[in-house]
Amino acid sequence: MENIVCNGCSLLCDDVSAEISSKGVNSLGLCKLGHTHLETVTAHKIVATQKKLEKAADLLMNTTNLLLFGWTHATDEAIREGLELAATLKGHFGSNVNLGPMQAMSHTIHAEGLDIDLEYVRNNGEFIIYWGTDPSESLHRHPSRFAVLPRGEKIPEGIESRTIGVVDVRQTETMKMANHRLIIPIGSDVELLNTVISELEGKSVIKDKILGIPGIELVGFVRNLQKADCIIIFYGSGVLNSGNQDTNLTGMVKLIETLRATGKKAYALPMFVQSNTMGVIKATHDHEIVGELLHRISSGEFDTTLVVGDDVLAHLPGSVAKALAKTQILYVGPPGGLTDKRATVSVHTSDAIIAGTGTMIRVDMKEIEFKKWRASVATEKHSEVLMKLHKLVRTKRT
């Protein structure tokens, strides 16, 4: 077995290993999601030809309104190369990172940046709250590697030393390991936040049931918050996609401030899922992003789209996908999927887990470097293909 880095989700686990033999794929430490991802990309047959690159370069030279799109599964190096190619071709660099994560990262909840990382959570996180997120569905190893099970410097007994709360609109798998399970009606996050804040401020507002939660349960939740020294809130799509994103995040900021006012350490961290969401956010912070862009795609503004890394046609909202499919598509990425099938030219590349080079940004903004392993020999990388494409475009221009 060799050490590898998994990019099955934004946790980018770098404590895992794998081997590929004629008998199949073996792995150690990978979760089910990661193992399936590795098996899928191992089966890809990649044949990148110079001819295809030439054709792609010719098409790029003849566009009038080019969109460079995708990127959430591309490495930081590929994103940088894409930004440079966009500048050369005067194309528009855009990403399909959801509007939610983009806005969340600009909210005051992260005004001072993400000042803690997941290692800090492992060592100090005493009261962990998963709010509108179910890691058992998307970031499988989040609880076992960082937030719930492991021992840490100030968490000598692991799960026994932590209190776990889950807030969601339905029963979730993660709730099974929680001390507090708060199921609330859709869109009532702020009401719950305000109730908790008032109770922390000593206003004793909880008498009977609130939002369907028995008063005694909610008071128990607040009392445990009061007992903890370090509280971490992990917020996810339930908070971001409810239509009240801004109000919800502002409510969380208030809760954090209330806890900090009593001398506690309190933080909020996001639970974005796509492997390099943070890499895209970091690289494109100054660029015009998503909401507006989806509208521009729908209105037929672009005649050609260079899609890198993502099967965007499978994941965009229907009307936007339809409009995008009407453009001439050049696809650079792993084989398979709707976008690859629909593309005028496809240049296939290896997934980063196989290629084993470059970096991505973990969900807590920590840079993770991929590890070369035996499977990495003779692979086609996103960044190299884009570099070759860029070179061809430059040569053809002169």
State which of residues 6, 178, 197, 354 lies at the interface with ligand SF4 (CB under 6 A): 6
Q: Does 362 bind ligand SF4 (CB under 6 A)?
A: no
Closest contact distance (angstroms) between CB of 131 and ligand SF4 is 19
State which of residues 4, 9, 192, 308 lies at the interface with ligand SF4 (CB under 6 A): 9
Closest contact distance (angstroms) between CB of 43 and ligand SF4 is 17
Q: Which is nearer to ligand SF4, 110 or 140 (CB)?
A: 140
Strand 92-93 to strand 127-131: parallel, antiparallel, or no bridges (unpaired)? unpaired
Q: Which is nearer to ligand SF4, 10 or 284 (CB)?
A: 10
State which of residues 73, 110, 122, 140 lies at the interface with ligand SF4 (CB under 6 A): 140
Q: Does 33 bind ligand SF4 (CB under 6 A)?
A: yes
Closest contact distance (angstroms) between CB of 139 and ligand SF4 is 6
Q: Which stretch binds ligand SF4 (CB under 6 A): 8-16, 199-207, 230-238, 336-344?
A: 8-16
Q: Does 143 bind ligand SF4 (CB under 6 A)?
A: no
Q: Does 141 bind ligand SF4 (CB under 6 A)?
A: yes
State which of residues 4, 18, 25, 34 lies at the interface with ligand SF4 (CB under 6 A): 34
Interface with ligand SF4 (CB under 6 A): 6, 8-9, 11-13, 16, 30-31, 33-34, 139-141
